[in-house]
Structure 1
Amino acid sequence: MDKLARLCAMIDQTNEFLGKFAAWSAFALVITQFGIVLMNHLYSEGSIAIQESLTYMHSLLFLGAAGYTLLHNGHVRVDILYSSLSKRRKAYVNLAGTLIILFPVLFMVGFYALPYINASWQILEGSTESSGLHLVFLLKSLILLFVVSTFLQGISVSVHSIIVIAGSGDLVEGSLGEKSQ
């Protein structure tokens, strides 16, 4: 169980890093948007590439931080009975939700996204605008970042749940199903 707990810690650290990296894209997004507004109002100039960069940063923010959000229990959940459950029963709910809902959804997203992403890479798809960013293939690849980071965090949630169910909850940092402080 100790090795599994260490594996979970590594996954958690990876998603913690990805989440913090993605959070900086929010700062960059605001600064870039401010720059676009200044360029438009002060100089009556615009740049399609800079405007398109907002889409890239926005995508990185949401797709790159999905695993981080799962790590910190930030995804929306319908909490009718869950908050009153014991730690062990929460672990059962988390394990079932991960296995029955999260993993199949991620599998479907990945399965249907791969040909789409592959086709984009084969032609090194770029912007439809001549002066835009010619990195659409990288933008589409963020879908895989979402799938992989969220899948890894799902593994961590599942293993954490199994550790709690097995009665070794002292190996798990924090409480399952409760927002991290």
Structure 2
Amino acid sequence: MLRLADSLDMISRLTASVIRWLALVMVLVQFGIVVGRYVFGYNIIAVQESVLYMHATLFMLGAGYTLLVDKHVRVDVFYAKAEPRTQRRIDVFGHVFLLIPSMLVILYWSWPSVRNSWKILEGPISVGGIEAVFLLKSLIPAFCILLVIQSLSLLIRLLLPETSRPEAKA
């Protein structure tokens, strides 16, 4: 089971290793937009939209990795002061009854919109923008799938006996 969890973690790590470069590209493109607009008085809407696409891609595809490294937002009213065993129970509850079901619901309800967007190759958000809204909408199911994969990995680790968990050996 630990090997399966490691394999699932690798999906998040590989995704993050590719998309992390979008942060740098996004900053450089935004800098170019500012220079182009305020120094040269030149503006291209498609380039402006590309920042939106990169930003969405970075956050939607990076969510699984964020969960893996435990840097996601956590409402820790009870969690922070709880014993490790209680924290594990809270985590299991969160994965089984909140995260996985909500991702499956979002996946189910967003799929028709994504499918239709691909069917018509949905065009730009703005006139002169990027003619690929269908790619932007495809981030929704990708986000859901990556979060479910990472959630399953964490759930496997949470349900392993105490002695076989990697953190127990450290």
For the criterion TM > 0.5, the same-fold answer is yes
Once the two structures are superposed, the pairs formed by residues 26-105 of structure 1 within 5 Å of their partners are: 26-105=23-102
3-state SS of 1:65 partner: helix
What is the Cα-based RMSD across aligned positions, in Å? Answer: 1.7
TM-score by length of 1: 0.85
Cα distance change, pair 139–87 in 1 and its aligned pair in 2 (3 A): same
39-48 or 126-135, which deviates more: 126-135
Once the two structures are superposed, the pairs formed by residues 111-130 of structure 1 within 5 Å of their partners are: 111-130=108-127
Identity across matched positions, percent: 33
Cα distance change, pair 35–118 in 1 and its aligned pair in 2 (3 A): same
Unaligned runs of 5+ in 2: none
CA distance, structure 2, for counterparts of residue 174 and residue 12 of structure 1: 15
The aligned length equals 168
AA aligned opposite 1:148? I
Unaligned runs of 5+ in 1: 176-181
Post-superposition Cα deviations, 1:117-160, rounded to whole Å, max 9, x if no partner, equal: 01100000110445321111011001111001000001011111
CA contact (8 A) 2:125 2:133 kept: no
Aligned to 2:162: 167
Question: How far has the Cα of 1:70 moved from its partner?
Answer: 0.7
AA aligned opposite 2:102? V
AA aligned opposite 1:167? E
Question: How far has the Cα of 1:45 moved from its partner?
Answer: 0.9
Question: How far has the Cα of 1:98 moved from its partner?
Answer: 0.4
3-state SS of 1:126 partner: coil
Question: How far has the Cα of 1:21 moved from its partner?
Answer: 2.5
